[in-house]
Amino acid sequence: MSKKSGGLRKLRDKIDKIDDEILELLNRRAGYVVDVGNIKKTEKVKYHAPERERQILKRLTAHNEGPFPNDALKSIYREIISASLALEEPLKVTCLGPLATFTHLAALRHFGSSADFIPVDSIKKVFENVETGKAEYGVVPIENSNEGVVSYTLDMFMDSELQVVAEIILQISHNLLSRQRAKSRVKKIYSHPQALAQCRGWIESNLPGIPVAESTSTARAAELAAHNRNSAAIAGDIAARMYDLNIIEKNIEDSRYNITRFLVISKEFPRKTGNDKTSIMFSIKDRPGSLYEILLPFKKARINLTKIESRPSKRKAWEYIFFVDMEGHMDNKKIKHAIDQVKKGCFYLKILGSYPQGVIR
């Protein structure tokens, strides 16, 4: 054996030893988690504590000296926390389905793969599942950087008492998936209309003249491609894994800046973290200058509004509902005072939630 191969073997032996230690520590950790779960049951404490998860991730990333990257550390610990939580009781999360869509991927990134995911076929059913207790949390799309706001999600908040407890900001990457391994063998492409629109330039340049068929979701497109040998789907890599398809080409979207924001909804009201966002909705009188006047308290308090969107109320002609996102938490006196001032000039004002600001994943 050469000195070089001998050195490699020694390093691998050290890595194996560390892996054995990690395994032992994970199981010790799991034992403590089971003990915590038993105490929670005795004291009738809610088993899922999002603020505790945030504390763990914040502490570990602050102490991480590298070279292991913080993003990877967060991903690993989300899975550890998700699996640990499942030892107490699997967390039920409902999302716009089917599975293997980008909404499912967003839910996976946030809750980890050990959660019990319940896919439904409409945003309304996501809200209903959380409201009736079939799931503790729901995940719904709210806006895309290219396509704009998801109006139906905004409409659902008008009659729902659910709170926004988190946001997930997902970088959307489309891939060409197929049972084939070369794009020259692809004779038909399936995908959701939105994904097709976002990849139209690539399709015209790389697969000109190939028939394109719309599907109800990117996951359904992957399913169709899995059953049709010479076809392909445009979908995310999670669909490739779920339907055992080859990724012929990655990142085929025409714009690299393609980001979708999702909201996590629940019956809770999250505690302040120090890096929060608050969302409200309100209705005002239809007269010149009314919107300017209603927003003045935010300007005077130097509160940064990160989004404002209007929607017809659908209850009265020319009546509009405004949706506003701002930096800060409702527990902040400045935020609370400004909203109290705004409320005086509104027909209706509702706080949708205060929650930690998301980062692109």
User: Looking at the annotation, which residues are catalytic?
Assistant: 260, 262
284/343 Cα distance (integer angstroms) = 9
C-alpha distances in angstroms, 290 versus 224, 306, 344, 348? Answer: 52, 20, 12, 14
Q: Considering only CA atoms, which of 249, 82, 202 is closest in space to residue 240?
A: 249
The structure tokens listed for 217 are: 């979701």
328/322 Cα distance (integer angstroms) = 18
The position carrying tokens 């209603």 is 294
DSSP labels, 129-170: HHHTTS-SEEEEEEEETTTEE-HHHHHHHTT---EEEEEEEE
For residue 189, count CB atoms less than 10 angstroms from its CB and return exposed for 0-12, middle for 13-18, buried for 19 or more: buried
Name the phi and psi angles at 293, rounded to 5.
-65, -40
Q: What's the length of the chain?
A: 361
Q: Which residues pair with 231 in a beta bridge?
A: 188
C-alpha distances in angstroms, 90 versus 23, 27, 114, 269? Answer: 22, 18, 7, 21
Contact of 283 with 311, CB cutoff 8 Å: no
Classified as helix, coil or strand, 45 is coil
**The pairing of beta strand 163-171 with beta strand 148-149:** unpaired
51/109 Cα distance (integer angstroms) = 17
Contact of 343 with 281, CB cutoff 8 Å: no
